Structure 1
Amino acid sequence: MSFDLERLRAETPGVSARIHLNNAGAGLMPAPVLDAMIGYLRREAEIGGYEAAAENAARLDGVYDSVASLIGASRDEIALTENATVAWQMAFYALPFRPGDRILTARAEYAANYVAFLQVAKRTGVKIEVIPDDADGVLDPQALERMIDDRVRLIAITWVPTNGGLVNPAAAVGRIARAHGIPYLLDACQAIGQMPVDVRSLGCDMLSATGRKFLRGPRGTGFLYVRRELMHQLEPPMIDHFGAPWVALDRYELRPDARRFETWENNYAARLGLGVAIDYAHAIGIEVIMERCLSLASQLRDALAGISGVKIHDLGSRPAAIVTFTVSGFEADAVKAFLAAAAINVSTSKPSSTLLDATARALPSVVRASPHYYNSEAEILRLAAMVHSLVHGT
C-alpha cells in the first residue's frame, strides 16, 4: 500500500464530518477495521458466540503474529488484554518487591502507573525515585546510570507521555537496564502506531500498549510483551484456568507463553479489529506514518507559535505528534469546547494525569491536539485559524 492521502481519507468515515485531531485519545478506525468487527459481530448473532470464535479461529490466532511483527517480538511473548492499563498492571504486579527496593521512573510518568508505584510502596516499603531530566526536559540516561545500585528492582518509564510531544530515550534506558540486569517496563501507549517499535532494539523486558490511539484500532484492546527469559520467572498477580490450567486436584500449571497473563473471556470482535488495524498500519509503513505524523505536528506547532497569546508546552528537540498548548485568557476546556463547536476534535490534559511533570513546570490544564497521517494540511491550518479567531475575537 503506497501513501495515498485521498484513498486513506476515503477509507476513514469519520473525516467526512469532523476534523479529528484527538488521535492520542482515540484514532478514527479505518473502514477495514470497522467492517471486520461488524462482520464478526454479525456472525455471533447468526450462529452463536462460541461458534463464531471457532469459525474464525485462524484469524483470531493470527492477531498474535500481527502484534509480534509490529514490535519485533515472538508470538509466544505476546498477551492480548482488554486495555493497556491491564497489560501494564499484569506485568508490574507480577514482579516481587521487598522493603528497601527502588523503582526508578520518569518525571513525565502517567498517573495510572504512578499510583501503582505508590500502592506497592505502601504495601512493601519500596522507594520510588524519579530520574532527572536534561536541559531539554528529556530523561537523562547519564543521570539514570548514576542512580543504579543493587537495590534497583525496576526501571519503568513512559516513552511518550500523555501531556505533550516529549519522546524519552527508551533505547538508551534499555541499554542501561540490560547492562545491569534490571527489569525494564516500558509504557508505549502513545508511541505504538506513530513510530517504529522494536523491543530487541529498545532492550525492554516488558512493554504495554493500546490499540485505540495511533494504531487506529477499537477501544477496549491492548497488549503486553514480556521477554521470554523473564516471563518464565513471573507468576501473574491474578490467574484463571486459561492462563493457568487446572491439571490436578491440588495443582495448576502456568502456560509456557505470555498468555499466562490473559484470562479466558475476551471481546473477540475487538481483538479481530486490533489485528486488522495493525495489518493496515503495516501496509502503509510505520516509517512512512512516523514521518507524516512528525511533519503535520511540526506544521501545527509553527502555525500556533505565530499566534499571540498561544504558548506551546512540548519538550524535546524532535517531539512526537502530540501538540500541547494554552491560550492566554481561556481555560483549556473552553478552547476545546470552542473547537468542538467548529467540528474540530481535540482533547485536554489535566495536571493530575502527569502530576510530577505538571508540578515541576507549573502546568495548568493544556489543550492537546494530536494529528495523524490521514489528517490533511488544510485541517491543520483550520485548527490554527480557529485558535487565532478565538484569541482575536474574529
Structure 2
Amino acid sequence: MAVVKPFSGLRPVPALAAKVASLPYDVMDSEEARQITRDNPYSFLRVTKSEVDLDPGIDVHSPVVYTKARENLEQFIRNQILVQDEKPCFYIYQQKMGQHIQVGLVAAASVEEYQQNIIKKHELTRPDKEQDRVNHIVATEAQTGAVFLTYKADETINSLINGCLQQQPAYDFTSDDGISHTLYVVDEPAKIAAIEQAFKKIDCLYIADGHHRSAAASRVCDLCRQGNKAHSGQEEYNTFQAVIFPHNMMYIMDYNRVMQDLNGLTPEQFLAAVQEKFTIIAQQGAFRPGQPHSFGMYLGGKWHQLVAGSGSFPEDNPVAKLDVSILQDNLLNPILGIQNPRTDKRIHFVGGIRGMEELERLVDSGKYTVAFSLFATSIEELMDIADAGEIMPPKSTWFEPKLRDAMVVHLVPCASYLNR
C-alpha cells in the first residue's frame, strides 16, 4: 500500500507567494540564480542555492554554503515571509501550462516504503549530488524541494482531489514563464482521512523526478534513527515531501542531445556509418519526431530524419527498446565513442522545452557539431522499467511543468539526533 501523511507545511504568506516560489535548484547554474535574486530578494533560491549571497568564486559544496542556507531560511521565518501551518494538512498543487493541466497531492511519503521499493525508482544517483542534498537537509532541517511521484490513476482519488478544488485557493499566480500555480490547503480531518485511506489501496508509487532528494531523505532518516534512542517511526525524518500526480496527467517532453565533434570522422564518413543502422531521410526544415524509433539529426545546417532499422534493438527488453537506448547503442557509442553519457564531456543534453531552435543554435554556434532530437519517453515506459527493477539511461525524461520550490516546505527536525 502507499502511505501518505499530512504535515504542517511552512509556506509563503499569500502576498509574497509568487515572489518566493522558485524553480528547482538543479535547473539553473549559480550565475542565473544570482541574477534572479538580484531582481527578487524574496526568491527561495536564497535557500536552495544560497551561494547567491556569497563570493562568486566559492565552492558550492563548501560548508559555509549550507550554513548560509540555514541562515537565510531562518531569516525568511523570522521576517514572516514563511509561516508554518498550525496543524498537519494535505495540499493540492495545480499547474497549468498552455492546454496541459496537472493536479497533485502534496504529502509526506514514507521513507520505509522508499527503502522497501514500494516507492519505485528508475534512475541511479550520483554520490556527489546525493551528498549535497544530505548536507542541505541536515543544515536547514528542512526538505526544501519536493520529490515528483506518480501512481496509476484511480477514480476514487481523482474524485477526492477534485472535490478539494472547489474551495478557495491559498495561492493562485502565474510565474514569469506563463505557467499558473494554484495551491489549496486541505485541513479538514474527514477529507484528510479519506485521502489517506484511498492511497492505502494503491499498490505502489513511482519516482518521476527527484531520485537524489528521495535518496538523501532516506540517508538522513537512517542517521537520525541511529542517533535517536527513543525512535518511534513517527518523527518527521521518517517521511519526505512529495507531490503525487496520477500517471495520466504526466507530461514528458523530449530530452535531446548535442555532440561536440564527430569522433574524428568527416561528415561523409559519419553519415556512411549512421546509414548502417538507420534509414536517413533529408528534411526541408527542423524535424521533431512524431513517433517512436524515429530521430531528428541536425548536421551541417541541414535536418535529416533517422529511422531505426529492423533488428537494431530487442523488442522484448523495456530498457533497450527506449529511443534513448536505441540512439546510444547504435550511434552515440559505436560511432561517436560516447561510452558513458553520464560522464562524457563531449555530450550535452537539451530539454525539449527549448525547442528545435536551441539545437540549431548550439550547432550553428560552432561549439557543437551535430544534434539529435528524440521522441519523448512515455510514462508507461517509465513505469514498466521501474516495475521490472531496471534502470533507465541518463537524461531519458524531461518533465514539464517544473514544480516550484517553497509552495510548501517540509520541516525535518534532526539536529538533536545528529549531534549526539
TM-score of the aligned structures, taking structure 1 as reference length: 0.30
**Structure with the higher strand share, 1 or 2:** 2
Q: Greater CA radius of gyration, 1 or 2?
A: 2
**Structure with the higher helix share, 1 or 2:** 1
